[in-house]
Structure 1
């Protein structure tokens, strides 16, 4: 079933409106893993001149959703926690990688890291998801 889920995620990544707006791309996906990326543009900055935290969360959450749903579709987020460790600036190429560390029948847990093109850690996150039956949607 996960092969079917992975193909579903690949197809979904081509038509996500938020991804199209932000320029997010799916780089890798496999069982319990995904990597997404995008380039920081001027319109993504906050009043300090660094990347807005909400956009970092969106990138991390995107990797999270794809990794969980590669194992069980549908899975929805129930909790997400992020720590911002370093700023990102215009021109940075950010990549978020997510690995599922627990894939149970009732809950799934994952760790997410966001790094820039030089390997500098921008943010670290954890998330919990709930696998659903299709009828629950």
Structure 2
């Protein structure tokens, strides 16, 4: 890929209206990895004050797709993913860190860990795994 990875990833991220709606930030990218953050606010919480599972799921899906797309060297989509919620999400910020673990010509299998960050540091709140597929123009 001749375009800088960060520039390429930021261009795609900034073209996502839903990410902007949530206030998400793409904070790190690598050749096969991505980190996305969302600040906690009342509108993103469920009735018990925890960050809503839908927000956590968004972070897993989008960071998995970014990690897989970067590993595949281009635009990508999620073919499938699975998430396990392991602890309620409380904190100031929620962070998803994803990495491609196996990449072929057309797909990448990726893993993701999602953390809530607060006064006591990072707490793992969910883990996810997904299959990401390369998108060709015209697909």
TM-score using structure 1 length: 0.88
Selected match of 1:121 from 107, 121, 124: 124
In the other structure, the counterpart of 1:86 is: 87
Does the CA-based 8 Å contact 2:98-2:112 persist in structure 1? Answer: yes
Does the CA-based 8 Å contact 2:69-2:132 persist in structure 1? Answer: no
For the structure 1 residues 39 and 133, does the alpha-carbon distance in structure 2 shift closer, same or farther, using more than 3 Å as the test? same
Q: More strand per residue: 1 or 2?
A: 2
Report the more deviating stretch, 40-49 or 114-123. Answer: 40-49
> 5+ residue gaps in structure 1?
none
Matching of residue 20 in structure 1 with residue 20 in structure 2: yes
Does the CA-based 8 Å contact 1:74-1:134 persist in structure 2? Answer: no
Extract structure 1 runs of 4+ deviating beyond 6 A.
Answer: none
Question: C-alpha separation between the residues in 2 aligned to 1:79 and 1:2?
Answer: 29
Does the CA-based 8 Å contact 2:69-2:133 persist in structure 1? Answer: no
The SS at the match of 2:88 is coil
Does the CA-based 8 Å contact 1:82-1:123 persist in structure 2? Answer: yes
**Superposition CA RMSD, Å:** 1.7
TM-score using structure 2 length: 0.87
Does the CA-based 8 Å contact 1:40-1:93 persist in structure 2? Answer: yes
Cα offset, 1:6, TM superposition:
4.2
Matching of residue 130 in structure 1 with residue 133 in structure 2: yes
In the other structure, the counterpart of 2:52 is: 52
For 1:79-113, what per-residue CA distance to the aligned partner results, in whole angstroms no more than 9, with x for missing partners?
Answer: 11000011113x52111000000110132100000
Question: C-alpha separation between the residues in 2 aligned to 1:7 and 1:23?
Answer: 19
